[in-house]
Homo-oligomer: A and B are copies of this chain.
Amino acid sequence: MLQTAQKRDVFQAVADPTRREILKLLAEKELPISEISAHFPMSRTAVAKHLQVLAEAELVRGRKKGREKIYWLHPEPLTELREFYELFWSNKLSKHKYVLESDPDNEY
């Protein structure tokens, strides 16, 4: 395993709120682990593990720069979220058949 180890499901990678926040952070700019972990109440090690998970899902990439490891966002796999969403809510071909037929707001 040269680099990112084995694939990881995008939906599962994104299931954790901390990991979603990390992605938002990296959307602004690339950051070293220490700076990322400064935004969270947990240990740096814990954040590093979250970054590994995100890397396995190809949602981030990292490079070594001196003694730092810099991570940056690689948002492409998020299109899977969009594709899933559109199975139910596509606006292209008007709405999905289920959505069309569903009554607006029957709360039970």
- Footprint of B on A, CB under 8 Å? 3, 9, 11-12, 14-15, 17, 20, 23-24, 26-29, 61, 63, 72-73, 75, 78-79, 81-82, 84-85, 87-89, 96-99, 102, 108
Contact B88 A23 (CB under 8 A): yes
Copies of the protein in its oligomer: 2
Verify B108–A89 contact, CB threshold 8 A.
no
27 CB < 8 A contacts A-B? A3-B108, A9-B15, A11-B11, A11-B15, A11-B17, A11-B20, A12-B15, A14-B15, A14-B84, A20-B84, A23-B88, A24-B87, A27-B87, A27-B96, A27-B97, A61-B108, A63-B108, A72-B102, A73-B98, A75-B99, A78-B85, A78-B89, A79-B85, A81-B84, A81-B85, A82-B85, A85-B85
